[in-house]
Chain A
Amino acid sequence: MSGDLVMALLVLLPLAGAITAFSFPRWGPRIGCGVALLTLALAVRAALDVLRQSPLTGSLGGWAVPLGIRLRVDGLSAILLLLLAIVGLFISIYSLQALGPARGTRGRAARYYWPLWLFLLAALNGMFLSADLFNLYVTLELSGLSAVALVALAGTKTALDSALRYLFVSLSGSLLYLMGVALLYGACGTLDFELLAGQVTGPPGWTAMALMTAGLMMKGALFPLHFWLPPAHSSAPAPVSAALSALVVKGSLYILLRLWFESAGGGLTQGTLQLLGACGAAAILWGSLQALVQERLKLLVAYSTVAQLGYLYLFFPLAAGGGVRVWTGGLIFLSAHAFAKAAMFLSAGNIIKAAGHDRINDLGGITRVLPVSVFTIGLAGISLVGLPPSAGFVGKWLLLGAGLQQGQWWWVATIIVGSMLSAAYMVRLLSHAFIRDGTATAWKAVSPGFEWSALAMAVAAFLLGFTAKLFESLLQGVVWIGGAQ
C-alpha cells in the first residue's frame, strides 16, 4: 500500500463508515468499531513510514502544489494521528455498550451517534493530514459541526443550551479564521504551510495571524475564551465528553502550532509568544481554582481541561528556543492529557450510571460498587497532577527543564503552582467522594466492559512516559522544530 493510499484512506474510510452507519443504523456499532480498528492500523502504518522516510507527502488527484491539494504526514501529524486512532478506538469500544442498539426509546441517540462520531474522526484525520490553510478550515468546520451535534445528542435542556452556545462560538471562531485565511491568500498568493514559511510579514500578514489566532483560541477554549467549554463538555453523553476534551480541542491547538511555528517561523516575536503563554498561565490558575470549587464531578473534570489546556499554551514561549526536547515534552503532555481526560470522563459516566447523579458530596462509598472506576480516576489523576513516573510527569518535567534552561522562571513558577492546585482538586475529589463511607446505598450495577475500557486509557496515560523515545524519533525528522533531516 503506498503512502498516498494510506493518507486518502485515513479520511475516506471513516467518511464511508459514517454514511453506511447512517443508512443502516442497525450496523452502526459494528461499523464504528471496525472503522476505528482499521484507522488505527492505517495510523500505525503512516507512523512507521514517517520513521523510515520522513515526511510522507502526496497530492490529491495528482495536481502539483500551487494548484492541487496536498496531503502530508510528518512527525507531528503522525503522533496526533496515532493518538486520535488509539483514543478513538477505546471510546468506540466504550460507546458500544454505552449507547446500546439503535432501537427502543434510547434508540435515537444511538442511531445518530455513530455517523456523527465517524464523521468527527474523518474530519480530525483530515485536519492532521492537511498541508494548507484552507483545507484546515474545512476540516475545522466539519469537526466543529459534528461535535456540536454530538453534544446535542444528550437531548436534555442543558445539553441543547450548551450545544447552541458551542455552535455560535464554533461558527464565529471559524469565521475569524476564514477571514485570516482570505487575507493571507491575498497577501501571499498561497496557503500551503511550507510555501508560506517566511512570507507572513507586514501588516496584512500580522492581521491575518491575529484573526486566525483569535478564532482558534475561541475554538480551542483558551482562557479568556473558554466560557463555553465547561457546560458543553459536562452536559454531553460520556463518550462524547471524552472525545471533546481529549481530541477536539487539541485540533485547534494543532493548527495554531503549525501556523505559529511552521508558517510564521522566522517572524515570531518573543512578545506575542509571551502573551499566548500568559493566557495559558491564566487558564491554568483560573481553571484549577474553578475545579477546586465545583460541586459536580463532570464540571470538575471539564474545568480541569481548561487548566490543562493552559499548559499546552505555556508551551508556545518555551518551544521557540527549545528544539526537539521541548516538543517531545509538549506532545507527551498533550497525549497524556488526552488519555487521562478520556479515562476520567468515561469513569465519570460510569459513576453517573451507577449513582444517577454526579454530586461529589453524595458519592461517598462508591468505591465498593465501582472499585475499578475509582482506581481509574485515581490513576488518571496522578498523571494529570504530574506525579512521577506517569506520562504527565515526563511532559511537565521536560517543560520545566526548558523553562529553567531558558531562564523563563515565571513559567516554571506557574507550572509548579498549577501542579499543586491540580493535586488539591484531585485530593478533594478522591477523599471527599471515595474514601469516606456514604449513607446512600441505592447504587445500580455497571457492566465491567465500561470500567475496563476507561481503565485501559488511564494505564496508557500512566505508561506513556516510557515511550518518550518514540516521540523523540518521530519529531526528529521535522525540520522546522529544530530536528535534523
Chain B
Amino acid sequence: MLSSFFTGCIIFFLREESHRLRTWLNMLGALLKLGLVMVLLRGVYHGESWQWSIPLGPGMTFALGADAISVMFVTLSTVLWLFTTIYAIGYLEGSPHRSRFFGFFSLCVSSTTGLALADNLLTFLVFYELLTVSTFPLVVHRGTEESMRAGKVYLAYTLGGGTLLLLAVAWLQSIAGPVSFTERGVLAHIAVEHRLELQVIFVLFIAALGVKSALIPLHGWLPRAMVAPAPVSSLLHAVAVVKAGAFGVVRLVYDVYGIETASNLGMLDPLAWLAGATIVYGSLRALFQDELKKRLAYSTVSQVSYIILGTAILGPLAAAGGIVHLVHQGIMKITLFFGAGNYAETLGVHRVSEMNGVGRRMPWTTAAFTVGALGMIGVPPMAGYISKYYLQQGAVQAGLGWVSLVLAASSLLNAAYFLPIIYRAWFLPSPDEWPEEHHFGRFETGWMLLVPPVFTAAMVVLAGILAEAPFSPLAFARIIAGEEFPP
C-alpha cells in the first residue's frame, strides 16, 4: 500500500536528465501503483480494511488506513495519474526543466494518495500542506511573469487555507483529543457541551478546505492558475487540489463530525447554501469567458460544489450523488482539459471564438471533448447524468425545493456555455489557417496526446451506462452512503 507512494516519491527525485529512463520510470511507477491500488480495491470491496501507523510525538500519530471512500479517491487519482503522465510526456516533449516538472508531478500525486489514505486529521493536514508545496512549482512551471503572479496568488490562498486548517485541527484536538476518521463521526458525545466551539471550528474547517475546493468567495486563485501547462491544469482540477478540498469536506462532515452531529449543530444548511451559490455563480461566470481554459476553470468552480452540496444534504441518495460526482467530475473534467490542451498544442487555439470547425481537423479530440461536455451538462447516459439524478432525488427526499431549482438552473447554464462550443466545433466552417499549426504525422495530433482523452471519454460513457454494475463508481458511492446512513 505504501510502497507505491514512496517509490513514486523517491524515484522521481533521483532521476537524471536522460529522457528515456525518466519516461520508463514514470510509466513503471504509475503502473505499479495502479496494480497495488487494484489489490487494495479488491480487498476493500470484500470488506477488509488496512491500517498502519507510527507515533510521531506526544499526542501525534501518523496513521494511514484504507476504507471505501479513500480507496475510491485513490483509484481515481491513480487511474487519472496514469493518463496524465502519458499526456504530460507527450505534451512537454522537448521543453526545458522536465525533470523538475516530473519530480514535483509525482510528489503531488503522492500527496494526493497520502491525503486519500490519511486516517486521522493530523495526517490529513500533513499531506494537505505537502500538496500545496508540491503543486506550487508546477503552477509556476513556465517561469513567466504572469505565471509567477498566478503562483503567488495560488500560494497566498492555499497557505492561508493551510494555516486555518492547522488552527482548526489543533483546536479540535485540544477539545476532543486525537481525532481519527470514523464512520458517522466521533464528536457526537461532546456536541452539546462544546456547541459553540464546534460551530466555530466547523466554520474554520470549511474556510480552510473551501480554499482548495474553490467555494466562493475563496475561488479567486483557480482561474488565475490556468496559466500552468495543460497537464497541470488537469491535475489541479480533476485529481489533486480541488478534489483534495472537496474530499476534505466529505471527510469532515461524515467522518469527523458525523452527518447527524453536523446537522444538529445547524451547520449543514449554510454549507448547502454556500455550495448552491457557488454552483450558480461559477456557471454564470463561465458563460462570459472567451478563453477556453478559463471557461473550464469556472465550470470547475461550479461542478466541485455539487460534491459539497451532495454532502450537505441529509439523506443517502444525495450523499451517493455527491460522492459519485467526486469520480465523475474528475474523469469528465480531465477529458475536457486534455481536449483544450490538444487544441492549444496542435492548432494554437486558446479561445472559444477561434474554435470554428475544429471538429473536422481533429475529430477524435473533439469527440472526446463533446462527450465530456455533454456529461457536464448531465445528458443521459453520460456519467454526469447519474450524479445529477441522484442529487435531484436526494433533494426531493430531503424536501429541499430550492436545491432542485439550483440544479436545474445550473444544468441550463452548463448547456448554455458548452453547447455553443460544440456547435462551433462541429458545424461552423473552419478558418483557412489555424493560429499556429503543428503536424504530427499519421494522426491528428501526437498519439500520446490523443490516447488519454479518448480513454477518459470512454470512461465517462461507461461510468454512465454501467452505473448498475458492481464495480462502477456508483456502486462504491452507495456502499459509502450506506455506511453513513444505517437503515
Contact = CB atoms under 8 A, between A and B. Distances in A.
B367 interface: no
Interface string B159-190: 11011001100110110000000000000000
Nearest to B175: A404
Contacts of B217: none
B126 A431 contact: no
A188 interface: no
Interface stretch (A51-59, A162-170, A231-239, A382-390): A382-390
Interface stretch (B57-65, B240-248, B325-333, B392-400): B57-65
Contacts of A435: 137, 140, 143, 148
A284 interface: no
A254 interface: no
B131 to A, nearest CB: 11
A444 to B, nearest CB: 23
B56 interface: yes
A328 B57 CA distance: 9
A401 B130 contact: no
A332 B57 CA distance: 10
Interface in B123-157: 125-126, 129-130, 133, 137, 140, 143, 148, 151-152, 155
Interface in A337-388: 382, 387-388
Contact of B173 (A328, A387, A401): A401
Nearest to B127: A388
Nearest to B62: A389
A420 B55 contact: no
A74 interface: no
A469 B151 CA distance: 37
A296 B209 CA distance: 36
A389 B126 contact: yes
B174 A437 contact: no
Of residues B56, B133, B152, B170, which shows the largest number of chain A Cβ atoms within 10 Å of its Cβ? B170
Nearest to A394: B57
Contacts of B140: 431, 435
Nearest to A400: B170
B129 A388 contact: yes
B163 A419 contact: yes
A469 B159 contact: no
A398 B166 contact: no
Given A401-B173, A420-B163, A435-B137, A394 B152 contact: no
A324 B167 CA distance: 22
Contact of B133 (A328, A382, A394): A382
A423 B155 CA distance: 9
A57 to B, nearest CB: 27
B155 A427 contact: yes
Contact of B167 (A393, A400, A436): A400
A416 interface: yes
B160 A328 contact: no
Contact of A388 (B126, B155, B159, B174): B126
A387 B56 CA distance: 15
Contact of A427 (B59, B130, B152, B162): B152
A420 B167 CA distance: 12
Contact of A416 (B58, B166, B173): B166
Contact of B143 (A382, A419, A436): A436
A416 B168 CA distance: 11
Nearest to B133: A387
A318 to B, nearest CB: 13
Nearest to A378: B133
A472 B129 CA distance: 26
Interface of B: 55-60, 62, 125-126, 129-130, 133, 137, 140, 143, 148, 151-152, 155, 159-160, 162-163, 166-167, 170-171, 173-174
